[in-house]
Amino acid sequence: MTQSTQTSPPIPRQPIGATFAVAVGVLGFFLLLQFFAVAWYFLPILREKVVESATVASVPPAQESPATPAQTGNPTLPDRPQPDPLLVQKIGRLVGESDRSYRVGDYETALKGINEAADLLPDDPGILLRRARLLETLQQPAEAAADYAQVAALPGLAPELRAQAERKLTQLGGVASGTPANPATENAPSPNAPEMREDTGLQPGASLGIVDTKLRDGSTPGTKTLRVAIKARPGTSVDSRQMKLHVSFYEQDETGEVQLTNSQVVSQWISPPINWADNEPELLDVTYILPDSQLPGSAASNGAPGRTFVGYSVGIYYNNELQDTRADPGNLARKFPLPLYLKQDSQ
């Protein structure tokens, strides 16, 4: 028997009507029309952007030029050249060396150094004030007054510096202004000479300073106690292990010669801990046995009879460099000058 296979007829294709074809054509026409309209609108903008980008890319960035006098609002202020770093370093070295020489009483060397700095930077108020105070110390009031007058005349000077310079001019008797000076005071040192201190009470450039000394009778009869107030520069971290204080008492023997005492001297801090953390002075009491007291430890008991107490000098060192000195009477500092530097193993 032959098996018959039934085949399904193919799915007939629907004819595309004329209406549909017309509708698609109309829709395509409107889409094409919209595309050209959009292109017509945005093409000029796009062209402008492309041209602008090409122009910016072809021009290198302009170098920033210094402001003109009109831009700064000060037509008389010329452009100031940048200072030479080597020159700044040299001036700083000269000023620092002058300050150190002043602290040890070597005023001639200090003046030489500050004169070199003034030649390199003639109108610096700090340099001029230092030189003026040195000239006062060296008993040259007319030259000192000239420097104070130059400081007072500087434009843009801080009010406190101008007031300081003017006050010094008044103390010097108006020498710089041509007013006849008082003969009795013309050769007298200024009330602050030979001191040269900042508002902090410290010597210029010093990390530590002796801001006060007071000598009084000790708690034991036949002794003297010297209280020394030591202050650190504000904002400076001080390592107390690197600080050394030298206190010397002087006596006059029977021949009139002034010598360092060989009496016993004992020191004690009275404001521990010694850290200068709150910018307050630290206080040290130094007790000295008078030479003629006959107490144990006095000069007489140590084999030097007939001596009398004359005065004292104090020097403070930091990192083995002298920071400040005090002496009473003042000529002891000149007669027995302290070294600028201590040896590394000095205690």
Give tens-digit pLDDT for 53-112: 333 333 333 333 333 333 333 334 445 556 688 888 899 889 888 887 887 678 899 999
Judge whether 197 and 203 are in contact, CB under 8 Å: yes
pLDDT at 70: 31
How far is the C-alpha of 314 from the C-alpha of 265, rounded, in Å?
Answer: 13
- The identity of residue 101, as a single letter, is S
pLDDT at 2: 40
pLDDT at 31: 55
Judge whether 204 and 127 are in contact, CB under 8 Å: no
Question: What does pTM read for this prediction?
Answer: 0.55
Scored b (16 or more CB within 10 A) or e, 221-242 reads eebbbbebbbbbbeeeebeeee
106 three-class SS:
coil
Burial class (CB in 10 A: 0-12, 13-18, 19+), 157: middle
Residue 244 backbone phi and psi in degrees, to 5: -130, 135
pLDDT at 73: 36
pLDDT at 298: 87
Give residue limits of the domains in the chain.
86-186, 208-335
pLDDT at 249: 96
pLDDT at 290: 94
Domain 208-335 classification at class level: mainly beta
Q: How many CA atoms lie within 13 A of 184 on its CB side?
A: 0
Judge whether 288 and 265 are in contact, CB under 8 Å: yes
Give the CATH superfamily of 86-186.
Tetratricopeptide repeat domain (1.25.40.10)
- The identity of residue 57, as a single letter, is A
How far is the C-alpha of 345 from the C-alpha of 65, rounded, in Å?
Answer: 57
Q: Which residues of the chain have pLDDT under 70?
A: 1-83, 104, 174-199, 344-347
pLDDT at 83: 67
- Helix axes 107-120 and 125-137, enclosed angle (nearest 10): 150
pLDDT at 299: 85
CA distances from 308 to 45, 255, 298, 336 (A): 104, 11, 11, 18
CA distances from 70 to 67, 80, 263, 316 (A): 8, 16, 74, 54
Structure tokens at 141: 């009031």
